[in-house]
Structure 1
Amino acid sequence: MIRVLVADDEPLIRAGIRMILTSAEDIDVVAEAADGRQALELAREHAVDVVLLDIQMPVLDGLSALAELPRYAPGAKALVLTTFGERENVLRAVTSGGAGFLLKDTAPAELILAVRAAAGGHAFLSPAATRHIVDSLAATPAAGARAEAARRRLAALSPREREVLDLLGEGLSNADAGSRLHMSEATVKTYVSRILAKLQCENRVQAALLARDALS
């Protein structure tokens, strides 16, 4: 069983997430927290595999809790589940080392998939979250040196890989990108893996932001 802790200051949100996750036979919600500090203590106490963290919480916010999580539960993976309001929060979320980022209107099946991916050691970033992050940062052009460095890194990609990357930046899933490019979902997945390796990016959000910087 995948042991999950849900941290959100709204009881109804926690109850909804619990209901969704426990509908999966391989997931067990073993604890709930109303703030980031409580989340850290419970993560250690219950030896959880995955922690779902809301960003906006009292006492200690979700991203601060994310930064401290390795000290409390070294093996736990974190998923940031949020509405993403401020640009600063988006930047912190991208660089804080979470196993994934999802919007609160994520479909139930996608939430379950994200928990399974995180438990398996894989980063999960929903297409909607990817698009939201890129759009949130679009108003901030990259500095000249950063833009030039991004363009040099993207030069390693083939024309087809650039096409796939552009669609990732639009927030398309692998299946939707495959439909647009007349490829199978498996082929797109292979391209995404190759793109991340060439660009030395950990996830599709980092790759999409690199592409955005190159256009600045």
Structure 2
Amino acid sequence: MHQPLQPLPPGAQPDTASDVAIGAIPRQIHLALIDDDAEFRGAVIAAVQHSNDTRLVAIAASGAEGALLLQQAPADVLLVGASLPYGAGLTLIRQAARRWPGCAIMAGTTLGDRADLLACIEAGAAGYLSKDSSPLQMLEEIRSVGSGGGSINPLIAHRLLVRARRGEPVLSSYEAQALELIAHGFTAGEAARRMQVTRHAVLACVRRIYARLERAAGRQIT
């Protein structure tokens, strides 16, 4: 049975700054990065340099280097370029989901490849990071996914709802309500306020839906 979203305790305020995380943020998040976009790699490096809780432990600049990186000890969060040539991004996400099962995987995206985000999620990604994000936004997304959340936008929410009408994923009423709000343009925080739960409860709900999508896709492949 899927866990329902938990209502706020009396007197609590939804969507506060502490709700960015899904649980306690690890003392230090170990981040690995695979992307052939030098400008984006530089932006991630610069963002992490200004963080005291996120450390960049490995960098790969191609799909081939990324495959070697995955033979190393796992990171807490892996950021993979969705548009790596020859489908290497999806391949690496699938490999990381098998080899680093405890790692939270993110797809680094541009506007042009966001239509492929659902494929990344089915491959094992728990979220995405827009390459035009500010340094603060980058760190917030990495922390959120690293502590159990999932990235979501109206396009993904709409596609999930369309698929749910076909029978997979099967959504609880809470999950359907959260996706309906986000599909209509509300942020996770705004959806949380309307549902009278915390933002991190909505993002954890999203992460559970993604995990079911990945398992379903895995069954189809095998």
Counting matched residue pairs gives: 185
Give the one of 155, 161, 180 matched to 1:132: 155
Aligned pairs for 1:103-182 (under 5 A) are 103-120=130-147, 122-126=148-152, 130-134=153-157, 137=159, 147=165, 149=167, 157=173, 164-177=178-191, 181=194
The offset of 1:24, in angstroms, is 1.0
Q: Which amino acid aligns with 1:147?
A: R
The offset of 1:124, in angstroms, is 2.0
The offset of 1:172, in angstroms, is 2.3
Between the aligned partners of 2:56 and 2:200, the Cα distance in structure 1 is 30
Q: CA-to-partner distance for each residue in 1:169-206, whole Å, 9 max, x for gaps?
A: 23422322356x4x6662x655x379x49xx95249x7
Q: Which amino acid aligns with 1:177?
A: A
Between the aligned partners of 2:114 and 2:74, the Cα distance in structure 1 is 32
Give the one of 83, 94, 98 matched to 2:121: 94
Between the aligned partners of 1:86 and 1:171, the Cα distance in structure 2 is 20
The offset of 1:90, in angstroms, is 3.1
The offset of 1:86, in angstroms, is 5.4
Question: If the length of structure 1 is used for normalisation, what is the TM-score?
Answer: 0.66
Between the aligned partners of 1:193 and 1:4, the Cα distance in structure 2 is 20
Which runs of 5 or more residues in structure 1 are unaligned? 207-216
Over the aligned positions, Cα root-mean-square deviation in angstroms equals 3.8
Greater Rg over alpha carbons, structure: 1
- Percent of residue pairs identical: 23
Bigger CA drift: 41-50 or 30-39?
41-50
Between the aligned partners of 2:78 and 2:177, the Cα distance in structure 1 is 34
CA contact (8 A) 2:122 2:210 kept: no
Secondary structure of 1:98 counterpart = coil
Q: CA-to-partner distance for each residue in 1:112-135, whole Å, 9 max, x for gaps?
A: 122223333x13204xxx223356
Aligned pairs for 1:13-32 (under 5 A) are 13-32=40-59
Question: If the length of structure 2 is used for normalisation, what is the TM-score?
Answer: 0.64
Q: Which amino acid aligns with 2:165?
A: A
